[in-house]
Structure 1
Amino acid sequence: MKCHLCNDKGCYREGKVCQKSPQLDNLPEEELKMLKTASEIEKEFYCQMTRLEEIVEFAKRMNYKRIGIAFCIGLFNEAKIVADIFTEKGFEVFSAICKIGSVDKETLDLPKLKKGKEAVCNPIGQAEALNRKKTDLNIVIGLCVGHDILFQKHSDAPSTVLIVKDRVLAHNPAGAIYTPYHLRRITGE
C-alpha cells in the first residue's frame, strides 16, 4: 500500500475499498471498546479539546484508574503538571523518569554527551516499573526517538504520546513540515 500517493481518498467518504482490513473484522472486546470510545470523543468534541483533555476523557470512558507516565528528565516540570491534572481528575498516577536505575553509559559502552558519570536512558526499565504498578494506560512525555519505541514495545498497558521530544522545535515536530526553512534544510533543497 502507498496511501500517501492516493489522490481521491475514496476510503474516507465514498466507502471505496482498496484493500480489505481484516484486523477490524474480529477485534477483541477491549480493542473494540477503545475504537468506539475514540470515535465517540471525536464526534462529541471535534476541534474543541486539546490532546491532554482527550486523553483524560478517553481514560475516564475506558474506566481506567491507574495512569502511568513515562517521561524524559528534560520534561520533569511538564510531567509533574500532567500528573497533577490526572490526580485532580481522580486517577491514581505513577511515573517513571528516563534515568530510572541510574545505569552509567560506560557500563554499556555507549557514547556520552560529556565526560564523567552519565546515566543512560532506560525505557525498558520505565516500562517494567509501570508494568509492576499494573497501570491501565501509559502516557509518554518527551522520550527520545528509539527510547519511545522501546518503551511502547515493553509496556503491558496501552500507551499514547502526549509530548514528542523535538529539542529544536519546542517539542512540536510538525513544525519541521510547516516551516519552509526547516523543510528546505531537511529535503536539501
Structure 2
Amino acid sequence: MIECNGCVACKCYQGHDCSKKNDFSEINIKSRTIFDEPNIIKILKTAAEIEARHYMQWNRLEELIGFCQQMEYKKVGIAMCVGLAREAKTLVKVLSQYFNVFSICCKNSGISKDDYGMPHIKQDRYEATCNPIGQALILNKNQTDINIILGLCIGHDMLFTKYSDAPVTTFAVKDRVLAHNPLAALYSGYCLKKLQASSAVSN
C-alpha cells in the first residue's frame, strides 16, 4: 500500500528515494522516457517556469492565461456546466482577449434522461442528460489546443477527459453545496463529522 498522505518529511522533494518497501525503479525509468517526448517536456517545463517566476503571485486564471500563451495555444475549449453559465460568460470574455475560445454546454444535443433510464431531479418535467462525450467530440472537431473543465459533475468530468483529444485542465470543480469549493469540506469540522463512518454517505 502507498500512503504518501502520512509523510511529514517529504524527502522526495529534495531528491531522495523515500519509496521504503516499494520499488519504483521501473516507474522512474518509464516516467523519464515519457518526459523525453517533445509535447510532454514542453508542458512540464512551462508549468515549472510559471511556478518559478510567479509563485504566490498569480491566481489560477492568470496561470491559465500565461500557460496557454507560453505553450503557444491558439484555440481554447471550455466544457461548461449549464449551472455555471454566468461564470462561463465571464471566463470566455476574459480568455477571448488572448485566444479563440470555443465553449460547449453540458446539455448539448438535449438527450433525454429517459432514453437511458436515468432518474430525474424533478419527475414532472423533461430533463436532458449531461453529454460530456458530446462536449469532447465537438471540441475535438474544432481542433482545440487545450480544453478547460468548468464545473462538470463528477463522472462527467472523467468521461470528458477520456474522450478529449486535447490536454484537459480544470478551472472549477462542481460542488453545489460549497460554492464549487470542495476543499471547504476538509476545513469544516461540521462537514467532517457528517462523513464519519457511523454516518457515512449512502444512497
Task: Provide the TM-score with structure 2 as the length reference.
Answer: 0.89
Structure 1 residues not aligned, in runs of 5+: none
Q: Which residue of 2 aligns with 1:102?
A: 110
Q: Which residue of 1 aligns with 2:31?
A: 24
Q: Does the residue aligned with 1:116 lie in a helix, a strand or coil?
A: coil
Q: Structure 1 residue 149 and structure 2 residue 158: aligned? A: yes
User: 1:154-183, CA deviations, whole angstroms, 9 ceiling, x for partnerless residues?
Assistant: 000001000001011000000000111111
User: 1:2-34, CA deviations, whole angstroms, 9 ceiling, x for partnerless residues?
Assistant: 222333211012523523323431221101000
Structure 2 residue corresponding to 1:84, chosen from 81, 93, 98: 93
Query: Aligned equivalents of 1:166 and 1:23: distance in 2?
Result: 36
Query: Aligned equivalents of 1:133 and 1:99: distance in 2?
Result: 18
User: 1:128-187, CA deviations, whole angstroms, 9 ceiling, x for partnerless residues?
Assistant: 000000000000000000000000000000010000010110000000001111111112
Write the letter of the residue equivalent to 1:100: N
Q: Structure 1 residue 39 and structure 2 residue 48: aligned? A: yes
Q: Which residue of 1 aligns with 2:4?
A: 3
> Which structure has the greater CA radius of gyration?
2
Q: Which residue of 2 aligns with 1:93?
A: 101
Query: Aligned equivalents of 1:100 and 1:120: distance in 2?
Result: 9
Query: Aligned equivalents of 2:107 and 2:92: distance in 1?
Result: 18
RMSD after superposition: 1.3
Deviation of 1:113 (Å)? 0.8
Write the letter of the residue equivalent to 1:113: I
Deviation of 1:65 (Å)? 0.3
Structure 2 residues not aligned, in runs of 5+: 199-203
Query: Aligned equivalents of 1:97 and 1:182: distance in 2?
Result: 31
Task: Provide the TM-score with structure 1 as the length reference.
Answer: 0.95
Q: Structure 1 residue 71 and structure 2 residue 80: aligned? A: yes
Aligned-pair identity in percent equals: 44
Write the letter of the residue equivalent to 1:145: I
